[in-house]
């Protein structure tokens, strides 16, 4: 695993001033960032979100998913607490990349759900990996997390790399008529822990 820390800077946002840390992943040739606020010294678990890049949701305000709303909610919660981290991983479209995601969206326009669309293109339902988090968390000395997620696979992956997940905080936000089927598929086919109907 060749993940290398590059540099840090201040990142003022509407939610507060974060520190942004850049990492280079030699294995995937991707650049990941971590946004942090506060001090991670001591034993107290860190409030965190592991967020996979979603240009359409995070940057273009798409209502097809809940990603942008989840990112903003996580920034807001961390700023309220004054301590936490967002690990922003560059693995667009559950790991299939932006252009394949557009191809998958085209199939969804014709009636496929997110899993069916990925599989029709020859991909697995979710190709994301989380092993790059181990050296990134080690850089900050993070041993344990209170994680904002609905994805049990993410919690399992963190535990597999030796990160103690002390608490899962449900992170449901951004439901709308355009993403109802997307959220149903997350719950029914990918096992996400979603309560809202």
Query: What is the per-residue pLDDT for 197?
Result: 47
Burial of 153 (0-12, 13-18, 19+ CB in 10 A): middle
Average confidence score pLDDT of the chain: 88
Residues 156-182 have pLDDT tens digits of 999 998 999 999 998 777 677 776 666
pTM: 0.89
Domains of the chain, earliest start first: 9-91+128-190 (3.40.50.10990)
Annotated binding-site residue? 10? no
Residues 120-153 have pLDDT tens digits of 999 987 888 899 999 999 999 998 999 999 888 8
- Report how far residue 69's alpha carbon sits from residue 142's, in angstroms, rounded to the nearest whole number: 26
Annotated binding-site residue? 70? yes
Is 128 an annotated catalytic residue? yes
Q: Which of 58, 66, 113, 128 is catalytic?
A: 128
Asked if 56 and 19 count as a contact pair (C-beta separation under 8 A), the reply is: no
Annotated binding-site residue? 56? no
Query: What is the per-residue pLDDT for 135?
Result: 94
Asked if 84 and 169 count as a contact pair (C-beta separation under 8 A), the reply is: no
Q: Which of 126, 129, 159, 168 is catalytic?
A: 126
Is 168 an annotated catalytic residue? no
């Amino acid at each position: 695993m060749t993940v290398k820390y590059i540099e840090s800077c201040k990142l003022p946002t509407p939610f507060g001033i974060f520190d942004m840390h850049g990492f280079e992943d030699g294995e995937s040739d991707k650049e990941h960032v971590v946004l942090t606020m506060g001090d991670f010294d001591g034993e107290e678990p860190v409030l965190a979100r592991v967020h996979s890049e979603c240009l359409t949701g995070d940057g273009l305000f798409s209502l097809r998913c809940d990603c942008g709303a989840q990112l903003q909610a996580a920034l807001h919660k961390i700023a309220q607490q004054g301590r936490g981290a967002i690990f922003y991983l560059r693995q667009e479209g559950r790991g299939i990349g932006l252009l394949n995601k557009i191809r998958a969206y085209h199939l969804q326009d014709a009636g496929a759900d997110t899993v069916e669309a990925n599989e029709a293109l020859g991909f697995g339902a979710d190709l994301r990996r989380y092993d790059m988090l181990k050296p990134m968390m080690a850089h900050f000395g993070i041993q344990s997390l209170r994680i904002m997620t609905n994805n049990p696979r993410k919690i399992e992956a963190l535990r597999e790399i030796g990160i103690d997940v002390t608490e899962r905080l449900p992170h449901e936000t951004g439901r709308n008529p355009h993403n109802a089927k997307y959220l149903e598929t997350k719950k029914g086919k990918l096992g996400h822990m979603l309560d809202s109907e």
